[in-house]
Amino acid sequence: MSKKTIVFTGGGSAGHVTPNLAIISEIRNDWNIQYIGSKKGIEKELIEKIQIPYHSISSGKLRRYIDFENVVDVFRVLKGCLDARRILKKLKPDLVFSKGGFVSVPVIVAARSLKIPIFIHESDMTPGLANKISQRFATKIFTSFDETVKFFPKGKAVAIGSPIRKEVLAGSAEKGRRFLGFHGGLPILTIMGGSLGARKINEAVRDVLGQLSAKYQIVHLCGKNNLDQSLEGVSGYKQFEYVHDELPDILAATDLVITRGGSNAIFEFLALKIPMLIIPLGLQQSRGDQILNAKAFAEKGFSLTLEEERLSGDSLLQHIDTLEQRSGGIRASMASSPQGKALQTLVDEINRYT
């Protein structure tokens, strides 16, 4: 009996890809899996790394503000719809699964035109523009937050949490310390600005690196082209642009984490029970979804929040000290969280649907 085919889509940042990776790892023995993404997005690198067939389409950026590029991107999106329709007609998938991002819209429009069932997962507290457009075409919608369901058509959406990659939960603290060259004497503080890095966080960390390294061993994932060569060889400080295979081991060894407010990342830290200081993107750089994510986690006792507008070396040190003092209570709150079944729920839904 031939395998059924599923097409995944989503891209623009690692946050729009990692949940897809989690699902793919669970179903790849039972499904013929294909991926449609942009020509140059981070999704291309991540998907080709796990040897899943990758199909590139034209994609434009969906902006909420007036810009001449919007006119150009209309034609890019239209071409993307034609590209996606051609690919889908060839692949004949039984299901399309989308994690959002600009590239997903042409795929979903094309899938709807071919009457292919569509599943969408929305990670953030409020839907992104791509999923706002795509919701009318979706067969089912899944959300990470209970509060998000109200933004979608009644009866179409259900809150399940965020699918966590099992390999993230299977790291070895011993291997992590060995990879980093760290010892057991000082706690490990991991700083993650997201797959694209975070310039302001990087600057604040480096401004107070002396004070931080007196209390912590520091892992700094600073984003592409954001390494500071002058800090190479500093004792107890390791900087990387981005970490792939070693990340589960690093996280297993991590005591505290500084992070942006991307939903997928903070749900992974919740599953790992790592107390987190969330520094969400401000309204000048985003639509405010990370601010809402951070607020929800802080209210549940899972994290502390430091607004980027208030970020400095001194404020960073103060918040890290508070995070360490409250870390026991935060871990207790995390331990009582019901999150953790989203991945299996999605796998069951995919297998049940067709």
Coil, strand, or helix at residue 198? coil
Q: Is 264 within 8 Å of 246 (Cβ atoms)?
A: no
- Do 167-335 and 4-162+340-353 fall under one CATH topology? yes
Tokens read off for 300: 């549940």
Phi then psi dihedrals of residue 160, to 5 deg? -130, -5
* Number of C-beta neighbours around residue 146 at 10 A: 13
Which span out of 86-90, 226-230, 341-345 was modeled with the highest average pLDDT?
86-90
13 pLDDT exceeds 80? no
In the chain, how long is the greatest CA-to-CA distance? Answer: 63
Q: What is the CA radius of gyration of the chain?
A: 20
Question: What does the pLDDT read at residue 344?
Answer: 92
pLDDT in tens, 288-300: 789 999 999 999 9
Of 55-59, 135-139, 335-339, the range with the lowest mean pLDDT is 335-339
Query: Residue 6 burial (CB < 10 Å; 0-12/13-18/19+)?
Result: buried
167-335 folds as Rossmann fold (3.40.50)
pLDDT in tens, 143-180: 999 899 999 998 999 999 899 988 999 999 999 999 99
Distances (CA, A) of 32 to 27, 35, 57: 9, 10, 20
pLDDT band at 22 (very low <50, low <70, confident <90, very high): very high
18 pLDDT exceeds 50? yes
Rounded distance between C-alpha atoms, residue 19 and residue 252, angstroms: 19
Question: What does the pLDDT read at residue 68?
Answer: 47
138 pLDDT exceeds 50? yes
Sheet strands side by side (includes 95-98): 54-57, 31-38, 4-9, 95-98, 118-122, 140-143, 157-159
183 pLDDT exceeds 90? no
1 pLDDT exceeds 80? no
Question: What does the pLDDT read at residue 311?
Answer: 94
Concatenated DSSP letters of 41-103: SHHHHHHHHTT--EEEE------SS--THHHHHHHHHHHHHHHHHHHHHHH--SEEEE--STT
Of 14-18, 50-54, 101-105, 274-278, the range with the lowest mean pLDDT is 14-18
Question: What does the pLDDT read at residue 63?
Answer: 47
Rounded distance between C-alpha atoms, residue 84 and residue 229, angstroms: 42
Query: Within 13 A of 255's CA, how many CA atoms are on the CB side?
Result: 20
pLDDT band at 32 (very low <50, low <70, confident <90, very high): very high
Domain ranges of the chain: 4-162+340-353, 167-335
69 pLDDT exceeds 70? no
The answer for 163, left when phi > 0, alpha when psi is -120 to 50, beta otherwise, is beta
Rounded distance between C-alpha atoms, residue 15 and residue 220, angstroms: 18
122 pLDDT exceeds 60? yes
194 pLDDT exceeds 80? no
**Global confidence as pTM:** 0.82
Question: What does the pLDDT read at residue 65?
Answer: 47
| Helix ranges restricted to H, the chain | 18-27, 42-49, 69-91, 104-113, 129-134, 173-180, 199-207, 209-215, 247-253, 263-272, 289-299, 313-335, 342-353
**DSSP-assigned beta bridge partners for residue 142:** 121, 158
pLDDT in tens, 247-280: 999 999 999 999 999 888 999 999 999 999 999 9
4-162+340-353 folds as Rossmann fold (3.40.50)
